[in-house]
Amino acid sequence: MVAFIIFTAFDYSPIFAQAVETRTTQSQKYNAPALSSPDSWSIILVPDPQTYGKFARNQPLFELMTSWVSENIDPLNIKMVLCTGDLVEQNEYINPDGVSGNQPSKSQWESVSRAFGRLDGKVPYVTALGNHDYGYKSIENRKSNFNNYFPVDKNFKNQEILREVGLNAEGIPTMENAAFEFTSPQGRKILILSLEFAPRDTTVNWAKKVISQEKYKDHTVVVLTHSYMNSKNEHIVKEKYPIENGNYGAALFDKLIKPSKNIQMVFAGHIGSPDKPKEHIAFRTDKNAAGKKIQQMVFNAQALGGGWMGNGGDGWLRILEFLPDGKTIKVKTFSPLFAISPTTQQYAWRTEPYDEFSFEID
């Protein structure tokens, strides 16, 4: 039996035209980050970098993020960069298993310090310390290599606005607990208060004394810490870390934030679940002792882009645009990693209501 195969002509041009149209439409959807008003200014919120640092292949991705920030200091009028902590996966790890990470701690610290070095002398940046920045793997004690890689004189832009320094658990003044002051273009005086992971009572008391000083009474105080809320927008009550005298989110709120008269914003990270953006974020509003709104935001991305062993977080960061009315802040969630190529630019913005929204401060 002989089988005959008959080839017929087929016009592929409609398919190619559709593909071109689709790609063009996708390309047109992308808009590079820009301020909605020429008189606005911005803060960049950088989530936990730890998963970028633990694999050699991921380290350049975090450097891409800070390079993008550097390139956009003027276009976005960036006045400050804040990082939510867990700068490294392990603080003092010398023998990685090659599965959960392939870089020893020294390489991780060098990498994150080098990445932030892209901003040295250009814009101030403040980093909280997370549980992974202490101890051996995860805060078995409160010793950290942070001060070796982020000394006070690393970035003179930080040093210019540094006003108060607290003591770490070893009794050494470092930027683990520190306050930074600057004035917005609209004249609002802002104090950034960076606190160690699960701050000790002595740290909380130090922070209370700082913000209650007469010279800061009219400042808008922003607290930057690592562990604060879960993805249900609840203050974290307790975590199972082998440290004593630690104040997690609920205790920090009750002892420091709610009784204050000038804390109006809190930023944190820490939480996450593999490839679930909503599990990495939280937001809530409360009021302080003066009746002013306290806007509290958690933003992380470390288990996106392939989970805990993935690419580090798909390059996500947040752009906080402070409008010239002096009270409105627009939040947008953006990835320089996706934005770098026309092939992936259509994925560079997250536009769910919990990723793109506005809030106001008093």
DSSP letters, 69-106, are HHHTTTTTTEEEEEE-S--SS-SS-----SSS-S--HH
* Sequence-distant contacts of 67-72: CB under 8 A, at least 24 apart: 67/118, 67/336, 68/336, 68/339, 69/44, 69/118, 69/119, 69/123, 69/317, 70/118, 70/119, 70/122, 70/123, 72/33
44 membership: H or E segment, kind and range:
strand 41-46
Distances (CA, A) of 2 to 5, 8, 28, 29: 10, 19, 53, 54
Q: What percent of the chain has pLDDT over 90?
A: 91
State pTM to two decimals: 0.91
Q: What is the mean pLDDT of residues 312-321?
A: 98
For the record, the structure tokens of 72 come out as 């956009």
For the record, the structure tokens of 144 come out as 């950290």
Q: Tell me, what amino acid is at 114? A: R
pLDDT for the residue numbered 226 = 98
Handedness of CA 138, 52, 97, 307 (dihedral sign): positive
Local confidence band at 9 (pLDDT 50, 70, 90 cut-offs): very low
- The SS3 of residue 6 is coil
- The SS3 of residue 308 is helix
Distance, CA of 209 to CA of 222 (rounded, Å): 15
Cβ atoms 336, 315 nearer than 8 A: yes
State the average pLDDT for the chain. Answer: 93
Q: What is the mean pLDDT of residues 242-265?
A: 97
Distance, CA of 336 to CA of 64 (rounded, Å): 7
Local confidence band at 5 (pLDDT 50, 70, 90 cut-offs): very low
For the record, the structure tokens of 49 come out as 């970098």
Q: What is the mean pLDDT of residues 282-299?
A: 98
Distance, CA of 344 to CA of 205 (rounded, Å): 48
- The SS3 of residue 138 is coil
Using alpha carbons, select from 351, 289, 292, 273 the residue that is nearest to residue 319.
351
pLDDT for the residue numbered 29 = 80
Using alpha carbons, select from 114, 351, 135 the residue that is nearest to residue 242.
135
**Residue 227 scores a pLDDT above 70:** yes
Q: What is the mean pLDDT of residues 325-348?
A: 97
* Per-residue pLDDT tens digits for 104-163: 999 999 999 999 999 999 999 999 999 999 999 999 999 999 999 999 999 999 999 999
pLDDT for the residue numbered 237 = 97
* Per-residue pLDDT tens digits for 14-38: 433 444 343 434 445 899 999 999 9
Q: What is the mean pLDDT of residues 294-321?
A: 98
pLDDT for the residue numbered 24 = 39
179 burial level (CB within 10 Å; 0-12, 13-18, 19+): buried
Distance, CA of 179 to CA of 225 (rounded, Å): 12
- The SS3 of residue 179 is strand
Q: What percent of the chain has pLDDT over 70?
A: 92
pLDDT for the residue numbered 28 = 58
**Residue 167 scores a pLDDT above 90:** yes
Query: Order of strands, edge to edge, in the sheet holding 162-167?
Result: 162-167, 173-183, 189-194, 220-224, 263-268, 293-299, 281-287
Q: What is the mean pLDDT of residues 221-225?
A: 98
Q: Look at 314 and 7; give whichever has higher pLDDT.
A: 314
Q: What is the mean pLDDT of residues 251-274?
A: 98
- The SS3 of residue 1 is coil
